[in-house]
Amino acid sequence: MKVKRKLGMGMRKKVGIRKAVISNVAKLLKKNTNNNLKKDVAMSVKAARVAVKNAGGKKQIKTPRILPIPKTGGVLPLIPIFAGLSALGALSGGAAAVAKTVIDAKNSRASMEEAKRNNKGMEAVALKGSGPFLK
């Protein structure tokens, strides 16, 4: 008996009445749409009540236990975001490499100037003692 109850055996299908109610409300909204949301909602509720009354009451309309909800989101919308982040990372890495090269060039130029100055001083000291020394 549980299986029969689960499958709804022995019960009449009332899906057609529900579809009729929904289609009546949809038709009414297509005809009389206002730019005012409150008026549209009130009109649709009123039309739904009239359609339910014409169908024979609430007991005649079978509503599903699981309401279909459209799926949104997922992984696909995230792919361009990740691609943009990886491109941004590559650009920042390239910019860091250029900055490091500029700083290294400045440091090597400064060390070369220091080495030249030091070499000139050492040559001057070396030249003083290598000539003839007269008192």
As given in the structure block, the two tokens for residue 68 are 């279909």
Report yes or no on 72 lying in a domain.
no
Report yes or no on 12 lying in a domain.
yes
Q: In which domain, by residue range, is 109 found? A: 96-129
Name the residue with tokens 């920042």: 92
Q: What is the mean pLDDT of the chain?
A: 76
pLDDT in tens, 73-109: 666 777 888 888 888 888 888 888 899 999 999 999 9
Is the Cβ–Cβ distance between 30 and 23 less than 8 Å? no
Report yes or no on 20 lying in a domain.
yes
Report yes or no on 122 lying in a domain.
yes
Q: Which are the contacts of 18, defined by CB distance < 8 A and separation ≥ 6?
A: 61, 62, 63
Report yes or no on 43 lying in a domain.
yes
Report yes or no on 40 lying in a domain.
yes
Is the Cβ–Cβ distance between 79 and 34 less than 8 Å? no
Q: Which of 32, 60, 88 is the last residue of a domain?
A: 60
Model confidence at 57: pLDDT above 90: no
Report yes or no on 115 lying in a domain.
yes
| In a shared domain, residues 54 and 9 | yes
Full-model pTM: 0.33
| In a shared domain, residues 56 and 100 | no
| pLDDT for position 107 | 93
Report yes or no on 86 lying in a domain.
no
Q: Which are the contacts of 51, defined by CB distance < 8 A and separation ≥ 6?
A: 20, 21, 24, 25
Name the residue with tokens 């490091």: 100
| pLDDT for position 101 | 92
Quote the number of domains for the chain. Answer: 2
